[in-house]
Chains A and B, each alone.
Chain A
Amino acid sequence: AQKITQTQPGMFVQEKEAVTLDCTYDTSDQSYGLFWYKQPSSGEMIFLIYQGSYDEQNATEGRYSLNFQKARKSANLVISASQLGDSAMYFCAMREGGSNYKLTFGKGTLLTVNP
């Protein structure tokens, strides 16, 4: 079974609108962490936001927020006021408590922002 599932291979959004990228995860650990990375067409991996399993509040970083629903095992990324530069591949990743050093990545969602 996949540990990280990103069900949207591709998403389109109009500039200035908000968009939600889905991520569900599978773990039996109580302690874990969830990360989102952005990969533009130039290829580098850019860290966006982190949510720990014990964090009581949803993480926010500028226009990025993480909608963390622990019971549903989902950690969706919300990008507000989309910009053309947000067009990229977005990856959700999980660190499980039993393997503190490793991240498991989802297959990614390709976001296209239309002018």
Chain B
Amino acid sequence: NAGVTQTPKFQVLKTGQSMTLQCAQDMNHNSMYWYRQDPGMGLRLIYYSASEGTTDKGEVPNGYNVSRLNKREFSLRLESAAPSQTSVYFCASRRQTNQPQHFGDGTRLSIL
């Protein structure tokens, strides 16, 4: 009954450090997504992967990279963290077009 699992749940980084957020889904979904949520901004798409082997930029991709490691796993990397990347990060997955996206519980990331 896991659904979408994100690790870690919390992380504090110093400016300039690197970090990879992990996401795995066990629902055999084709598409996976990374969002960030900031106060008053709703959710904004960082990157997505429509299917295994493909990745595309979303609305706010600068400062991030992603890897679709296999059908289950989609990671988000911050190469050189900046305070502006302090946010809550959500991973999501979806089976097909009119199906809802299923979200992980989020990663709360603070960059000092």
Question: A residues engaging B (CB < 8 A)?
Answer: 33, 35, 37, 43-45, 47, 50, 52, 91, 93, 95, 100-108
Contacts and interface: CB of A to CB of B under 8 A. Distances in A.
A43 B100 contact: no
B88 to A, nearest CB: 7
- What 8 A-B pairs are tightest by C-beta distance, nearest first? A45-B103, A47-B100, A105-B42, A107-B42, A105-B43, A101-B50, A100-B97, A44-B105
B71 interface: no
* Secondary structure call for the A interface: strand
Interface residues of B, number: 25
Contacts of A47: 100-102
Given A102-B45, A105-B43, A106-B42, A44 B101 contact: no
A43 B40 contact: no
B48 interface: yes
